[in-house]
Amino acid sequence: MRLDALCLENFRNYALQRIDFDPVCSVICGENAQGKTNLLEAMVCLSCGRSHRTRSERELIRFGEEGYRLEASIHTRDRDFLSRIEAGYGRKKRITINKAPARTAAELSQILNTVFFCPEDLQLIRDGPAARRRFLDISLCQLRPRYAAALAEYQRLHEHKTRILRDCGERPDLVATLPDFNLRMAETGAVLIHYRARFAGLLASYAATAHSECSGGREELTLAYQTVKTVTDPLGGHQQLVGQLLAHQEEHCYAELSSRQCLSGPHKDDLEVQLDGRCARSYASQGQTRTAALSLKLAAREIHREIMGEYPILLLDDVLSELDPRRQEYVLNRLGSGQVFITCCEEDRLHSLLKGTVYRVDGGAVTAG
Ligand code: ATP
Ligand code: MG
């Protein structure tokens, strides 16, 4: 998969800009606040229809303008595609692929996929389980439509059950509806656990390799998928999983009624990250945290290639700061396979870059070379 060219019109601080990219590695250099992250944001929008930074379309429109347009020339599965987004200008947002209207934004991700790493991704290591569950969910939804459907169903059931638990004090008759919710949540929960466990297994092995190589063999990263306590084998059969989830719900039935919260189920799953046998969240240094978070993203990229047969494009925003020269060298030299976009502030860090084109960004204008 390759992003050959990008055209931005009134997007963030870009007025009108067309850029032809390097097929292997594009290094995007510039001072602070010139438009480096905005450029990667445009690529994210073209891969899934929305920004990673904001839900507001208004924010994406260049100050003083009425709308924006984005257009990408993409090569994938031996064919060329043109994906296009137009928003604002007093009309409904329009997405087209090769000039044909797309029904949903999800159609964009059949053409362009991105794995994006930015400084906020350090939360993957530092924050609580929700950040890591989100990472699992986003990665799996891209790869497995059945997972995306099960997740949407599970979230719907979870919200409904939470409302029932909240209201059943005033309306005791609602308690009678809980067994049905529990059964359906166990059925869909078992699907989530199955996919998450398999993904976590692959992730563990790819991320361990990436982290070990990046740290020059000095650190060992281990990942462990943690789910509902009664589950003895997350890779076990469906019926076994359902039975074990129901058993856990039963054990927590009174606790759920008294706390009025949904306590049992894979909505509490975690992916435990350890460095040299110690919890990374509590003990990792800044550089180690960055290396570990990056290793998770690089692993997700490998899994994407394994399942879909092509590398997604890799977007690395400000990845080099806080890394020592050895780790920077690894990041730059590992850019060998698949297309990579990397932003940075200081050009002198790039002495070890083997191949690629440098693009300078200055006030929303990009020049190559
Ligand atoms: P840094 O090195 O600090 O990360 P950057 O080059 O990544 O900088 P961007 O995040 O791309 O910077 O932002 C560049 C500029 O775009 C900022 O000054 C920001 O205020 C401006 N900007 C953001 N949204 C809009 C918009 N809708 N219209 C015009 N300018 C905008
Ligand atoms: Mg930036």
Q: Please report which helix (H) or strand (E) contains residue 272, including its range.
A: strand 270-275
To the nearest 10 degrees (0 to 180), the angle between helices 286-308 and 325-333 is 10
Cα 239 to Cα 13: distance, rounded to the nearest angstrom: 54
Lowest-confidence region among 35-44, 54-63, 146-155, 349-358: 349-358
Could you report the per-residue pLDDT of 130-188, keeping only the tens digit for each? 999 999 999 999 889 899 999 999 999 999 999 999 999 899 999 999 999 999 999 99
Q: Which two tokens stand for residue 98?
A: 């090769």
Cα 79 to Cα 304: distance, rounded to the nearest angstrom: 19
> If you ran DSSP here, which 8-state letter would residue 109 be given?
G
Q: Which two tokens stand for residue 1?
A: 């998969």
The share of the chain scoring above pLDDT 90, in percent, equals: 86
Model confidence at 280, in pLDDT bands (50, 70, 90)?
Answer: very high
Residue 352 predicted with pLDDT over 60: no
Amino acid at 185: M
Q: Whose CA is nearest to atom 20 of ligand 1?
A: 33
Model confidence at 325, in pLDDT bands (50, 70, 90)?
Answer: confident
327 CB less than 6 Å from ligand 1?
A: no
CB 212 within 8 Å of CB 219: yes
Bridge partners, 97 (sequence order): 83, 100
67 CB less than 6 Å from ligand 1?
A: no
Residue 20 predicted with pLDDT over 60: yes
Q: Residue 156 contacts by C-beta under 8 Å, 6 or more apart in sequence?
A: none
Residue 269 predicted with pLDDT over 90: yes
Query: Mean pLDDT for the chain?
Result: 94
The candidate with the shortest Cα–Cα distance to 309, out of 338, 276, 274, is 338
Could you report the per-residue pLDDT of 79-132, keeping only the tens digit for each? 999 999 999 999 999 999 999 999 999 899 999 999 999 999 999 999 999 999
Cα-based angle 316, 318, 321 (whole degrees, multiple of 5): 125
Cα 253 to Cα 256: distance, rounded to the nearest angstrom: 5
365 CB less than 6 Å from ligand 1?
A: no
CB 166 within 8 Å of CB 259: no
Candidate from 10, 13, 319 with most ligand 1 atoms within 8 A of CB, to mutate: 13
The pTM (predicted TM-score) of the whole model is 0.91
20 C-alpha vs ligand 1 centroid, how far in Å? 21
Cα 98 to Cα 192: distance, rounded to the nearest angstrom: 35
